[in-house]
Amino acid sequence: MITLSKLAKTFQTKDGNVTAVDHVDLTIDKGEIFGIIGYSGAGKSTLIRLLNMLETPSSGEVTIADKNMNQLSKKELRQARQEMGMIFQHFNLLWSRTVADNIAFPLEVKGMPKAEQKKRVDELIKLVGLEGRGGSYPSQLSGGQKQRVGIARALANDPKVLLCDEATSALDPKTTDSILDLLVDINQKLNLTIVLITHEMHVIQKICHQVAVMENGLIVEQGPVLDVFKQPKENMTKEFVKQVTEPEETEEAIRHLFEKDGIGQILQLTFVGGDAKKPLMTDIVRKFDVSISILQGKISQTRNGPYGSLFVSINGERELIDEVIAFIREQQVEVEVVHGE
């Protein structure tokens, strides 16, 4: 559906050239929710603007639905952009227009007859859950409602791709979850390809099929969300994964516990998919003469199954502990000794 080949963007500044996107190769399949995550300045906003040619690449190619975006004329590019909706962090609504008129705006630009506009707007208002608010103005809406208007407007021309630029960053956690649920619903009902950029791993975890991690204009890691959660390779990715898999106080709590006598070894167990449902602790206690205590843990749900991280302390003879670790690995559960020999 979307292919980026050696895509690069360099900006000229007073302090010299700055490469925001550095020869990125990426493939996004049709119907996929693809997340691009990175901290501020990583280049992700520039990357998403390159997809619809709001930024012109310095080099490389963008292909969407078999169209080479670099080679399109201005007229062809305008037509191609109608097949790509975009939603923004701060909504970008027209404050002097009602909800219905905001949604209708791209249809007016397209020249759609008024009767067809109204029918389409009514469909979209229902789709995004804003029944009864068509005559309201943006100032009368909550943040979540404003973003629903933005989503409806982005869908007005029945696009093949929806681009989301930090679409939930300005929202509270509960509203964020409702907007993410809406995006999943739209993805499933319309088979819409969604590309979203974010600095929040919770967003990736909740709705994405695939994720790419950006740092300094580069894609440093990518893959299915569960695979990246299970075995993050780059330090940057590990930091993001910890946002949703480990309580903030984990490291400090473990350090204090380890200072006590008799705490033994501390293991971190990582469960992925169906593994999170195994009665592993019960099996260990039944099979081995060791004592084991759960210190902290958290299970997060991804689109493709649960991901869990569990910290336990284990006491017993060294040989038995080694056998326990081997047994855990036999159950297809990742295990790492985080404290103790």
Q: Which CATH number is 164's domain given?
A: 3.40.50.300
Q: Radius of gyration (Cα) for the chain, nearest Å?
A: 24
Residues 229 and 286 occupy one common structural domain: no
SS3 sequence of the chain? CEEEEEEEEEEEECCEEEEEEEEEEEEECCCCEEEEECCCCCCHHHHHHHHCCCCCCCEEEEEECCEEHHHCCHHHHHHHHCCEEEEECCCCCCCCCCHHHHHHHHHHHHCCCHHHHHHHHHHHHHHCCCCCCCCCCHHHCCHHHHHHHHHHHHCCCCCCEEEEECCCCCCCHHHHHHHHHHHHHHHHHHCCEEEEEECCHHHHHHHCCEEEEEECCEEEEEEEHHHHHHCCCCHHHHHHHHHHHCCCCHHHHHHHHHCCCCCCEEEEEEEEHHHHHCCHHHHHHHHCCCEEEEEEEEEEEECCEEEEEEEEEEECCHHHHHHHHHHHHHCCCEEEEEECC
- Predicted local distance difference test score (pLDDT) of residue 251: 55
For helices 114-127 and 143-154, what crossing angle results, to 10°? 130
More confident residue, 134 or 252: 134
Tell me which of 211, 243, 275 is where a domain ends: 243
Residues 155 and 296 occupy one common structural domain: no
Tally of CB atoms within 10 A around 52: 19
What domain range is 319 assigned to?
246-339
d(CA 314, CA 263): 7
d(CA 279, CA 56): 54
pLDDT beyond 60 at 106: yes
Residues 313 and 329 occupy one common structural domain: yes
Tally of CB atoms within 10 A around 34: 22
State the pLDDT confidence band at 107, using cuts at 50, 70 and 90. very high
The β-bridge partners of 314 are 265, 292
Residues 276 and 202 occupy one common structural domain: no
- Predicted local distance difference test score (pLDDT) of residue 210: 95
Q: Which own/partner pairs from 127-135 qualify as long-range (CB within 8 Å, at least 24 positions apart)?
A: 127/152, 127/155, 127/186, 127/189, 128/152, 128/182, 129/182, 130/99, 133/99, 134/98, 134/99, 134/100, 135/98, 135/99, 135/100
- Predicted local distance difference test score (pLDDT) of residue 263: 57
Residues 259 and 333 occupy one common structural domain: yes
d(CA 241, CA 231): 10
Tell me which of 227, 243, 259 is where a domain ends: 243
pLDDT digits (tens, 9 = 90+) for 56-79: 999 999 999 888 999 999 899 988
Tally of CB atoms within 10 A around 54: 12
- Predicted local distance difference test score (pLDDT) of residue 97: 96
Residues 104 and 213 occupy one common structural domain: yes
The number of domains in the chain is 2
Residues 295 and 261 occupy one common structural domain: yes
Does this model's pTM top 0.95? My answer is no
Structure-token match 């380890």, residue found = 258
Q: What percent of the chain has pLDDT over 70?
A: 92
Residues 108 and 59 occupy one common structural domain: yes
d(CA 284, CA 328): 8
Residues 95 and 168 occupy one common structural domain: yes
**Sign of torsion over alpha carbons 83, 88, 94, 98:** positive
Residues 254 and 221 occupy one common structural domain: no
- Predicted local distance difference test score (pLDDT) of residue 152: 97
pLDDT digits (tens, 9 = 90+) for 166-215: 999 889 989 999 999 999 999 999 999 999 999 988 899 889 999 999 99
d(CA 157, CA 340): 59
Tell me which of 199, 216, 243 is where a domain ends: 243
Q: What is the residue type of 250?
A: T
Length of the chain equals 341
Residues 126 and 196 occupy one common structural domain: yes
